A and B are shown apart, each in its own frame.
Chain A
Amino acid sequence: MSEKSFLTKFVEAGFTRIEILETSENKRTRNRNAYVVTLVAQKAPATLRASLEKKTKPVLSRENASQVLKECWVFPVAPETCNLACTHCLYAASPRTRNPYRVSAGELAGLLAQTEAIGAKPHFLFTGGEPTLHPELYDFLETVDQKGYSFQLMTNGTRIQKESAQRLAKLSHLTKVQVSLESPDPKINDSIYGTGLYQRVLKAVDILRESDVPVTFAVTPMEMNEDGLRDIEALAETKGADVKYIHLYELGAARENGLQPSREILTGKGETRVELMCDKGVAYSEGAFYPCPVLVKEPVAKLGDTLEQALSPEARRKVAGLQEKHAACQVCLKGST
């Protein structure tokens, strides 16, 4: 039994917070292939166990995709393409990165044709990077809207203008615009996003709300913003917005900056359902499919260039393998998104 399979057994048996406390030499036997690990783990709360048990229900495959493919994440620009450089960005996006990739209208049409071909009607999530940096973004949203797919837009809000808000208001299948905000305290928020961003984001929220566009604050609970997290729901209420809590993944800038997730467990309104993104969806980024939006810059996670490939038995085995060993997957498994 390897360390990996030993740890996996604890996850499967309903344990959480599994931590290796020590590794030491095997002095018991002469087996050179062996060493000793000491680990501690905690019996998971019932809600988390239920989510782990849920994992045994059928997961995404070619055969069941028409029913099970519920989400399709789309990156109109490359994940690292952004006009901000947030300290916790899992793609280390910033205005300094130079990735020329932009989804073409033909690519989007191909993506829609592929989902149609398998008989799926997923919810589209336009994310990034900063998706509004794509010059044709609003045309794309209109295309998806006309096809009758529900969809949402995830943005930092800085490029939302009155005109764009009015365009968004006309889209009948737009479920929400998710705007990132990390704290009701401008000082804390701006230490993560950059100077003046708190005001700019809230102004965008006001513009969207004036046009009656549904808004959700996306919040990533971390050590650096956990003071005041409680008040963000009150702020959201005054703005007529919802709150969605997002996990911190130790990738990209978050890893470089050594950021730690908040120890507080928070649940946003109506966000108690726990399902893994990779069990119900795919992500499309830079011309290829990935299991989820978290892993789109991880070459090992690439599932193929077509939706058909991304749903193949080989690709699904790859996803199951990642779930076992990728550190980011452990974040989701411990209670997710």
Chain B
Amino acid sequence: MEATAKTIGDHSPAEIRELVRCKYSEVARSPRLKYKFRVGREYALDLGYPAQTIHTLPERMAEAFTGVSSFLARFQDFIPGDVILELGSGGGLDTALLAKRLGASTKIVGVDLSLDMVQRAARSLGELKLSHVYYTQAVAEELPVRDNSVDWVVSNGIFNLSPEKERILAEIHRVLKPKGHVLCSEIVLYQEPSPEERLNEDDWFK
């Protein structure tokens, strides 16, 4: 993050979203630069993504990986025919792994707030010949998805980046079919941060 006189407490939610968007676009364009959070293939392997399946995907998918858990890729409760919406699909690693495992009867839509990330993920689709995966640029607080239309909403580390978590949950609730499910992996804290920590922009990505 660029040094700035403002701290996070001075920013509106929309401004924070722009900062996050810029940061992740930077990751999409230059995943090998040094960031305050871990990015890439080694990190994915460390979280337990199986090397042999990652190898079957274009290298750029894992290269921009920024999730927090490998749970989504291991999760077994999806059934063929499910419509799955992934929030913060990033480089597309989880989406692609799910799409390959679940087959063409499943429809998977990945959204990410960074257009660079979406383009990066979409580039890999052609190579994988996965016609049942779609990527689009959108923010989780305002989804371009119809009411009651999705069986699963999944995410891998997005809530910690949004100051409007309630809006995201309201959107997830809106787009899910009745009795639809949400599966999220998320970073949480043992102790709530102090007001000072909360206002320190430097801590935002820690």
Q: Which residues of A contact B (CB under 8 A)?
A: 1-3, 5-6, 9-10, 12-15, 21-22, 24, 26-31, 33-43, 45-46
B169 touches A1 (CB 8 A): no
CA distance A55 to B180 in the complex (A): 23
User: Per a CB cutoff under 8 Å, which of A28, A33, A43 touches B176?
Assistant: A43
Closest to B170 in A: A13
Residues of B within 8 A of A14 (CB): 173
27 A-B pairs within 8 Å (CB atoms) are namely A1-B189, A5-B192, A6-B159, A6-B188, A9-B165, A9-B166, A10-B169, A13-B169, A22-B71, A26-B68, A27-B38, A29-B205, A30-B206, A31-B187, A31-B206, A34-B188, A36-B69, A36-B187, A37-B185, A37-B186, A38-B72, A38-B186, A40-B182, A42-B179, A42-B180, A43-B177, A43-B181
Could you mark each residue 21-61 of chain B with 1 if its beta carbon is under 8 Å from any beta carbon of chain A, else 0? 00000000000000011100001001100000000000000
Interface size range of chain B in the complex: 35 or more
CA distance A24 to B187 in the complex (A): 9
Main secondary structure of the interface of A (DSSP, over half): mixed
B144 interface contact, C-beta 8 A:
no
Given contacts A29-B187, A35-B187, A43-B177, 13 further A-B contacts (CB under 8 A): A1-B159, A10-B182, A24-B71, A29-B38, A29-B206, A34-B187, A35-B188, A35-B190, A36-B187, A36-B188, A38-B185, A42-B181, A43-B173
CA distance A114 to B147 in the complex (A): 50
A2 touches B188 (CB 8 A): yes
A39-B183 in contact given A2-B189, A33-B189 (Cβ < 8 Å)? yes
A22 touches B69 (CB 8 A): yes
Instruction: For residue A9, give the distance in angstroms from its CB to the closest CB of chain B.
Output: 6
CA distance A9 to B169 in the complex (A): 8
Instruction: For residue B80, give the distance in angstroms from its CB to the closest CB of chain A.
Output: 19
Instruction: For residue B160, give the distance in angstroms from its CB to the closest CB of chain A.
Output: 7
B124 interface contact, C-beta 8 A:
no
Instruction: For residue A43, give the distance in angstroms from its CB to the closest CB of chain B.
Output: 4
A12 touches B188 (CB 8 A): no
